[in-house]
C-alpha cells in the first residue's frame, strides 16, 4: 500500500514520539492510545489531520524537553457536566 506524503509525515511523527517516549516512564502507552484514537479520523479530513500533525510536532518538542515529567491532556466536557 502506498502512503500519501501526509501519511508518511504522520507515521514519522509517531516513530519520533515512540523514540522520545522511551526515555520517560509511562509515556509510550499514552502515545499509542492518542495515535490510535486519532487514527479513526477520515482520510478526507485533511485540514483536521494537518492541524493534529502541527500540534503533535509542538508536543514532541515539549516531550523532548528534559524537564518534562508528565503529559497533560485536554478533553471535551460532557453535556451532563
CA-closest candidate to residue 27, choices 58, 74, 57, 68: 68
80 within domain boundaries: no
Number of domains the chain is built from:
1
Per-residue pLDDT tens listing for the chain (81 residues): 688 899 999 999 999 999 999 888 888 999 999 999 999 999 999 999 999 999 999 999 988 887 766 665 544 455 654
Q: How many CB atoms lie within 10 A of CB 63?
A: 19
- What is the rounded distance in angstroms from the CA atom of residue 81 to the CA atom of residue 78? 6
Q: Identify the domain containing residue 29 by its residue range.
A: 5-64
Q: Is residue 60 part of a domain?
A: yes
The reported pTM is: 0.76
Amino acid at each position: 500500500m502506498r502512503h500519501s506524503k501526509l501519511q508518511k509525515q504522520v507515521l514519522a511523527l509517531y516513530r519520533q514520539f515512540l523514540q522520545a517516549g522511551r526515555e520517560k516512564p509511562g509515556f509510550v502507552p499514552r502515545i499509542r492510545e492518542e495515535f490510535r484514537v486519532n487514527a479513526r479520523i477520515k482520510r478526507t479530513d485533511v485540514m483536521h489531520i494537518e492541524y493534529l500533525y502541527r500540534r503533535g510536532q509542538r508536543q514532541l518538542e515539549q516531550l523532548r524537553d528534559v524537564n518534562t515529567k508528565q503529559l497533560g491532556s485536554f478533553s471535551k466536557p460532557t453535556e451532563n457536566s
